[in-house]
Structure 1
């Protein structure tokens, strides 16, 4: 049964860690908030590298939740984890490619046949979810690497491997989330058949991301009266204009919170983090934020 939905551009809460077992209660609460906002085009993003585990049945449940009552789900999948690779010498999540240096990853994705096949397997396991999203009337995006450390050549290789891994006719847009300057050799050319994802760490609205994705990932927000343990941060109210401008550009906005991802002064392994559940006050604030025109 169709609900009385609010017709706004696609937006939602970042759920990169959705498959982490210890975060299950929190993820259910955050996704309930998005549904309770009654926005017609709810969006979410999920890291599929294995750094936060992988639970396709749970992801399928999120897709159903975001598709109920006439909603049009916008789901973004990241296959690998660029930030983890940049900290490969430290204790970090054990996802695909997360424990090797960016230079090694670039070389292997170009020349190492077993590594390339493993990457294709990573992409191929998304196929049932992409079919589900399409049948429900939603839209899916696949980004080869979150905050990528790729050269233009190695990124092109990843795109081709993804295309070969998915069944013909699979409805999914491909995108790039470059992190130029984050590691030596990182490049940022976005192929013509890919959208751009930009991580925006300011209240300014001078960005020009058309038909892509914008997130404050990397710069958390603060509720009124709160001082986050994570730096940098902005008052949540400062991101209202960013969300609005993102929609005006025909792009998806994803609101990211370091605390919900278990991040603070010290970075713990995912299974040892504390995944706090939003309070009733935070729930109301987030619903109001998502409903902002």
Structure 2
């Protein structure tokens, strides 16, 4: 008549796998998507760092510059080899002499290991290899500028000389000698030189950041120099000192000064006016003075 104090244990009945082929294919597709997502996250980590694409690091721009420079060097190597071997016709040549073509191919081939070393320096934050790459960028700009000048000097007068020669020989001129493809090639070369000039400043700034990070804080303290955690904070501190000093009268709103938006808006189009000879005059601008 007493209740049993032994707890009852429930054992689930084992079931056989009832996965359908459609469910199995769905699981495999999800696994493949997860692997693809992992690869994308890995590639994104290479370029964006641990912060993700929402907060890209400073070195992202330098990595993109290195990638662009690598593709540019490969393109110039292919064009130079094609200019030497394939494009033997004078109507398809990009330069006038073999020396300029060899120079372009040479500096492009030498620049590939320099670019790879610079990429290593970006990941390891080394200043000296990045400085070497910066000087190589200067050299490449000079070579590209010489390449462009050579093309301009020898192919820009094409419309006046070759057309007259073709008319004298009663030969129909080729469109690739003086037409739009030649002009497009020249514009492309000029764009490459200008774009490389715009990439000098980011690389130089990154080199200065690496130099700031490599300096010994204790040595600067011994020299009596203050040191902030980063170079950008130091630049911001310099601007803050200027804003507290001479630039204090330029930045910010100064009531009554010419150019003050609030005072000007209150005067123009409002009933505010001045009296001159007992007559109402039109609204006026605030008085201006030099600081």
Check whether TM > 0.5.
no
Normalising by the residue count of structure 2, what TM-score does the alignment of the two structures yield? 0.21
Greater share of residues in strand: 1
Greater share of residues in helix: 2
Query: Larger relative CO (CA 8 A, sep 6+): 1 or 2?
Result: 1
